[in-house]
Amino acid sequence: MRKKSSAPFIILSCALILSLSAVAQDMKYSNRNTLPEIGVVASDAISLDKEMIIGDAVMRQMRGQSPIIADPVLDEYLQDLGNRLVVHADNAKFPFQFFWVNNDAINAFAFFGGHIGVHAGLMRRADNESELASVLAHEISHVTQRHIARRMQAQKRASPLALASLIGGVLIAIANPQAGMAAMQAGSAASAQLQIDYTRSNEQEADRIGIAMLARAGFDPKGAASFFSTMAEEYRMVSRPPARLLTHPLTETRIADARNRANDYPRRYLPINKQFELAKARIKSRYSFDADYSLEYYQAAVEQQAQRSREASLYGLTLAYMRNEENKKAQKILDELLEKDPTNLFYLDAATDIYIALGEPLKAVEMLKPHVTHNPRNQVLALNQANALISAQKYDDAIILLKDFLLVKKDYQVAYQMMSEAYQKAKRFSQMHQSKAEVYALYGAYNRAVDELQYAYNFAGDNHLQKQRIRARIKQFRDQEDRLERL
């Protein structure tokens, strides 16, 4: 099961907010190894509470205007990987949210409030899970070290006007991303040397802390250096490096430093991670390749004799057959995969989609039932079961399942979209409009959310309790909008 935004792509990355206007130059790092004292660092520039408010607002903006991949299977994998790192991070002040961006650039980015985005293109080029984890650890370190807030503090010391421009640019970007990026760039142009010096410190610090985190979490600490080397080699001869190299410049010094730091930890020789290989195959087959090429690519991969992950190739071929509406061929492969690994979420998700495509959603319901009973709030199982129930016209059952899921994951837009569909098909129009309002609110479109609630109010009839709840939710949305304006 998958849903994705098709809106234009706009990125608000930690690196962009740090205004790296001169990062294409060959920079040498400072030899200073002492970490700055954190905790109260930059607290007078921006508080943790305000950072979370801004981060939430930017995330809502991105949902509405960026090609974020809303794919429960990939989301589950990425969040699990990120959480395995975060538990070994110091100074993690809030829950982290990891998400995918449907863009083939090699890039990842962090911004206020523990939000970390990963481009599909970065996953496609990573050779193993330690390399992917090294990028996440680096971005987590940007957040835990509060590099954005510290950048603001540095700007405040240099010029209060520059700081005002930088904060203003972030807030403008909530309403008008293009204007916001221009404002941030203009606001920091007056202190170019400060930007360069501060960026060197940020990157060195994030590398050092990230590699330590990587080792503590059980990954190969050499993952960072190997990924650096792969990127540097691939783009050595190109005139314009990818976004990742522009915002995180790779010098020979930085690569050597990563290797040296990794040598401080025991080398880990990890087996091929099946979940990583399956996630990579899903990225390629569903998002990176077009339908025809995906089929050709995975047919060739399966035919190759020597493969490091035959199951991932078979899974990629299954998805390619599904994209080309050859569902019977897909089902034949998937039945064999499920026989060997009956609880694998990647396989259960694909099997659900195949049953629905073949007009047999009740088979999907029965297949998923024992898994949902065992783990009712897992997003892959719950949302696939809800999707199958809606397809089987069991709308009330789907609604009950989705309500229960949203109690623990209240900001998952796919669930609200499915809830809206279930209410619409059940002809429960007041609830349908309330669900649509929640979707608009997740995009930061509070005016449209209020409009949907007004429609819901009109459909509520004599249900006074429901009308009271709708009025209360309208007030909450307006209060949220006012809070952002006051920032």
pLDDT in tens, 160-190: 444 444 444 444 443 343 444 344 444 444 3
Work out the average pLDDT over 33-41: 38
Say yes or no: 240 and 326 in one domain. Answer: no
142 known ligand binder = yes
Say yes or no: 15 and 76 in one domain. Answer: yes
The whole-angstrom separation of Cα 6 and Cα 398 is: 26
pLDDT at 261: 80
Q: Is residue 90 part of a domain?
A: yes
Residue at a domain's end among 262, 285, 301: 262
pLDDT at 150: 64
Q: Is residue 311 part of a domain?
A: yes
CATH number at residue 313: 1.25.40
pLDDT in tens, 316-372: 999 999 999 999 999 999 999 999 999 999 999 999 999 999 999 999 999 999 999
Q: At 153, is the pLDDT very low, low, confident or very high (cuts 50, 70, 90)? A: low
Average pLDDT value over all residues in the chain: 80
Count up the domains in the chain and report the number: 2
Give phi and psi for 31, each to the nearest 5: -85, 0
The whole-angstrom separation of Cα 104 and Cα 171 is: 27
The amino acid present at 17, given as its one-letter code, is I
Q: Is residue 122 part of a domain?
A: yes
The whole-angstrom separation of Cα 73 and Cα 460 is: 36
88 known ligand binder = no
Q: Is residue 11 part of a domain?
A: yes
Say yes or no: 253 and 276 in one domain. Answer: no
pLDDT at 171: 40
The whole-angstrom separation of Cα 72 and Cα 74 is: 6
Q: How far is CA 484 from CA 13, 115, 171, 443, 444, in A?
A: 20, 18, 8, 14, 10
Say yes or no: 178 and 286 in one domain. Answer: no
Q: Is residue 383 part of a domain?
A: no
Q: Is residue 131 part of a domain?
A: yes
Lowest mean pLDDT among 18-32, 208-222, 335-349, 407-421: 18-32
433 known ligand binder = no
Say yes or no: 212 and 300 in one domain. Answer: no
Work out the average pLDDT over 387-393: 98
Domain that includes residue 340, residue range: 271-358
pLDDT in tens, 90-147: 877 778 999 999 988 888 888 888 889 999 999 999 999 999 999 999 999 888 877 6
User: The whole model's pTM is what?
Assistant: 0.81
pLDDT in tens, 259-278: 888 788 888 888 889 999 99
Say yes or no: 291 and 248 in one domain. Answer: no
Say yes or no: 173 and 278 in one domain. Answer: no
Say yes or no: 118 and 21 in one domain. Answer: yes
pLDDT in tens, 198-247: 366 777 788 888 888 999 999 999 888 888 887 777 666 555 555 555 55
CA angle, residues 409, 64, 48, in degrees to nearest 5: 60
Say yes or no: 154 and 286 in one domain. Answer: no
Say yes or no: 77 and 203 in one domain. Answer: yes
Lowest mean pLDDT among 39-43, 58-62, 217-221, 265-269: 39-43
Q: At 194, is the pLDDT very low, low, confident or very high (cuts 50, 70, 90)? A: very low
pLDDT in tens, 303-318: 886 567 899 999 999 9
Q: Catalytic site residues?
A: 139, 207
Residue at a domain's end among 358, 388, 407: 358
pLDDT at 145: 78
Say yes or no: 106 and 224 in one domain. Answer: yes
The whole-angstrom separation of Cα 315 and Cα 245 is: 32
Say yes or no: 258 and 282 in one domain. Answer: no
The whole-angstrom separation of Cα 246 and Cα 255 is: 15
Residue at a domain's end among 307, 326, 358: 358
Higher pLDDT, 211 or 249: 211
